Homo-oligomer: A and B are copies of this chain.
């Protein structure tokens, strides 16, 4: 059975996301692009907007194209929490070799993001679902602390923070219910090299729900109910993996907010399993073109058709 996607715009489904909005310059075996729009908050919220309405928290410079604000608003993404600061927008330069699983960062200019100190608008404080994208764990906690009573808080992180701000990251992890993290970073964070040991260690740090992303091999979900293994869809064309992880998180969290099951989510993993598949579905669209070009032109019908492909690919 394919879950029907009727976007929920009522306040109780509203999800808050904090992360980066950026210019990305990317080279992959499929080509090269300069200063296209990117950033974790963009990928996440565009992906999640297929399932729910959103409150966006972030900062851009005065060089950021205003036309993109309309794109986001038209998808039900609220921008009251988006600050436009004097200066330049965050700029990431990276490249991928034949192994598209790992980006090589060539330069990171934080620019306006360096002094970002998010203050949430009053209208955001009742957000029920929260996603703290891969940013400084201090910032993640600063946003978390402002929200009144979230139902479920999720976060992402990466090697940069595991190495550079481990103590702060551990404080954040104590607060979150769900962590999405790459497999290599799960090993790094836990100090383990077996995935079951790593999952056990990380879940003891706070997040009851752990999603380990394995790139082109799919994802593993660890909960009190056990393990769920989701494949990735083999694709004819993979042009640019940038944003795949955030898009994945957007589908995952978007579907969780869409179902709005409250505490049930911790007692029965059925919604989480479908959410992981929707995460993989959304990510599969992103990587087919540079940036979020393909994600923006994707339809609800295509999302449901691809969910069906995952069903067909895994039945036995």
CB distance from A166 to the nearest CB of B (A): 22
Interface check A118, CB cutoff 8 A: no
Task: Decide: A226 and B194 in contact? CB cutoff 8 A.
Answer: no
Task: Decide: A217 and B214 in contact? CB cutoff 8 A.
Answer: yes
* Interface membership of chain A positions 44-62, coded 1 if the CB is closer than 8 angstroms to chain B and 0 otherwise: 0000000000000000000
* Complex Cα–Cα for A68 and B304 (A): 54
Most buried by B among A195, A214, A311, A313: A313
The residues of B that contact A132 with a CB separation of less than 8 Å are none
* Complex Cα–Cα for A194 and B231 (A): 16
* Complex Cα–Cα for A228 and B227 (A): 20
Task: Decide: B194 and A236 in contact? CB cutoff 8 A.
Answer: yes
The residues of B that contact A270 with a CB separation of less than 8 Å are 316
* Complex Cα–Cα for A154 and B214 (A): 30
Minimal Cβ-Cβ distance residue in B for A278: B316
Interface check A142, CB cutoff 8 A: no
Task: Decide: B217 and A234 in contact? CB cutoff 8 A.
Answer: no
Minimal Cβ-Cβ distance residue in B for A271: B316
- CB contacts under 8 Å to B, within A185-229, are 193-197, 214, 217-218, 220, 226-229
Interface check A235, CB cutoff 8 A: yes
* Complex Cα–Cα for A196 and B273 (A): 26
Interface check A274, CB cutoff 8 A: yes
The residues of B that contact A277 with a CB separation of less than 8 Å are 316
Interface check A66, CB cutoff 8 A: no
Most buried by B among A194, A229, A274, A314: A229
* Complex Cα–Cα for A274 and B218 (A): 20
- CB within 8 A of A274: which of B196, B231, B311, B316? B316
* Complex Cα–Cα for A195 and B229 (A): 20
The residues of B that contact A98 with a CB separation of less than 8 Å are 193
Interface check A238, CB cutoff 8 A: yes
Interface check A315, CB cutoff 8 A: yes
* Complex Cα–Cα for A273 and B270 (A): 23
Interface check A115, CB cutoff 8 A: no
- CB contacts under 8 Å to B, within A3-28, are none
Interface check A312, CB cutoff 8 A: yes
* Complex Cα–Cα for A193 and B29 (A): 11
Given known pairs A214-B217, A217-B214, the reply for A313 and B228 (CB within 8 Å) is: yes
What are 22 inter-chain pairs, A to B, with CB distance below 8 A? Answer: A98-B193, A194-B237, A195-B234, A196-B234, A196-B236, A197-B236, A214-B217, A218-B231, A220-B234, A226-B312, A226-B313, A228-B313, A228-B314, A228-B316, A229-B231, A229-B234, A229-B313, A229-B314, A230-B316, A274-B316, A311-B316, A314-B316
